[in-house]
Amino acid sequence: MSTAEVYDYIVIGAGVQGSFTAYQLVKRKKKTLLLEQFTLPHTRGSSHGQTRMIRKAYDQNFYTHMMEEGYELWAQLEREAGVKLFRRTGLLVMGPENSRSYLDFKSTLEKNKIPMVVLTPDNFNQHIPNVILADGDGALVDTTAGVLYADRALKVAQGQFHKLGGVIKDQEKVTDIKPGLTVTVSTSAGVYQAKGLVITAGAWANELLAHVNLHLPLEVMRINVCYWKEKVPDSYHVNKRFPCFLLTEGEEAKDHIYGLPSNEYPGLMKLTPDRHFVVDRHPAYGNIVIGTGFSGHGFKFGPVIGKLLCELSLGEVPSYDLSPFQISRFQTMKSSL
């Protein structure tokens, strides 16, 4: 049997979360290996596509708070790589004016002093032509929001990781994990050892977690993407200042509807029951760290999640309260069913 290659840390999965975690680890001078099952770049996970929405507007305060740093870290990466990754478009948030969800978005933005414009039925069409504001709906614009150039961002994060000495091995599917003080990872092509492991395997998370006796309640969904046909050609184009948009969940609306002034991309989503992320250590093996369940809204958080998974791997106190993202909450949910 060939001898194992030894690293400080191994990260499984070169989606947005794995790529940023690997980048953070190598920035902290750790010898890091990033393993990916497919040939990079690929379109079979959750992180591919031209664009993703970035916003501070959330109905939970902790996400808005994390995105304050998220914007700084995206800008820092743009500076480091000399590549444009973000375009501001604004985000139009609409929903029944007195519904819990709409009011939560509004109050989170107000509480965090995020620049926003509240629109009225009288001035709505001056700001947003070609869209109808329904009777009883409220509308506001998170003016900090916009689009991230997703494919480009992934390439840049992996490029910076490589530039700082990180090793990327694609076309290497992880087939086995042996936990311990030293973790041993086997792939279709080799065997690797490290003192710490990060699993950011997206929709494949449970397949890998089975090797370390863990199962998370993740629902894998292939997402539906609709294309709005413009009545007036180009009226929904980013150059015509058409914003991103999001409909808050009213009592009667079950679907989560949002859109970008752009085209493309089907993809996979893995949803947790409460739609919050999983960012935690393995309950039994402290040197195995897990980032998954990004529930269709994780891209914008990539740099912050990377930083948090790196901090957990290094045994540091994480920069944010991670209680909403702990694995143990699923036990609580189960017992309350």
HSE (CB half, 13 Å, CA atoms) of 57?
Answer: 29
Considering the rule CB under 6 A, would residue 223 count as an interface residue with ligand FAD?
yes
Q: How far is the CB of 130 from ligand FAD (least distance, A)?
A: 21
What's the CA gap between 302 and 300, in Å, rounded? 6
Q: Which is nearer to ligand FAD, 20 or 102 (CB)?
A: 20
Q: Which is nearer to ligand FAD, 285 or 294 (CB)?
A: 294
- Round to whole Å and give the CA distance between 337 and 324: 19
Other Cβ atoms within 10 Å of 189 Cβ, number: 11
Q: Of 10, 7, 157, whose CA–CA distance to 76 is shortest?
A: 157
Residue 138 sits in the site that holds ligand FAD (CB under 6 A): no
- Between residues 116 and 304, which has the closer beta carbon with respect to ligand FAD? 304
Q: Which member of 156, 174, 247, 312 binds ligand FAD (CB under 6 A)?
A: 174
Tokens of 90: 């604004």
CA distance 151 to 302: 13
Pick from 10, 11, 30, 36 the residue near ligand FAD by CB under 6 A: 36
At closest approach, how far in Å is the CB of 296 from ligand FAD?
5
For residues 288 and 212, is the Cβ–Cβ distance under 8 A?
Answer: yes
**What is the token pair recorded at 291?**
């980032």
Which region, judged by CB under 6 A, interacts with ligand FAD, from 10-18, 102-110, 112-120, 124-132? 10-18
- Residue among 95 and 306 whose Cβ is closer to ligand FAD: 306
CA trace torsion 315, 319, 324, 327 (10° rounding): -10
DSSP 324: G
Three-class SS state of 161: helix
In this structure, are strands 167-169 and 32-35 parallel, antiparallel, or unpaired?
A: parallel
Question: At its nearest, how many Å lie between ligand FAD and the CB of residue 14?
Answer: 5
Instruction: Please report how close the Cβ of residue 200 comes to ligand FAD at its closest, in angstroms.
Output: 5
Give the residue among 65, 143, 54 at the shortest CA–CA distance from 108. 65
Residue 99 lies near ligand FAD (rule: CB under 6 A): no
276 contributes a contact to ligand FAD by CB under 6 A: no
CB-nearer residue toward ligand FAD: 29 or 237: 237
Choose the stretch contacting ligand FAD; rule: CB under 6 A; options: 3-11, 46-54, 85-93, 99-107: 46-54
Size of the site for ligand FAD (CB under 6 A): 37
Helix (H, G, I), strand (E, B) or coil at 151: helix
Specify the stretch interacting with ligand FAD by CB under 6 A; choose among 29-37, 75-83, 211-219, 282-290. Answer: 29-37
Q: What DSSP character marks residue 238?
A: G
Q: Which of residues 181-210 bind ligand FAD (CB under 6 A)?
A: 200-204, 208
Beta 244-247 vs 91-96: how paired, if at all?
parallel
Q: By the criterion CB under 6 A, which residues form the site for ligand FAD?
A: 12-18, 35-38, 45-47, 52-53, 173-174, 200-204, 208, 223, 225, 265, 267-269, 292, 294, 296-300
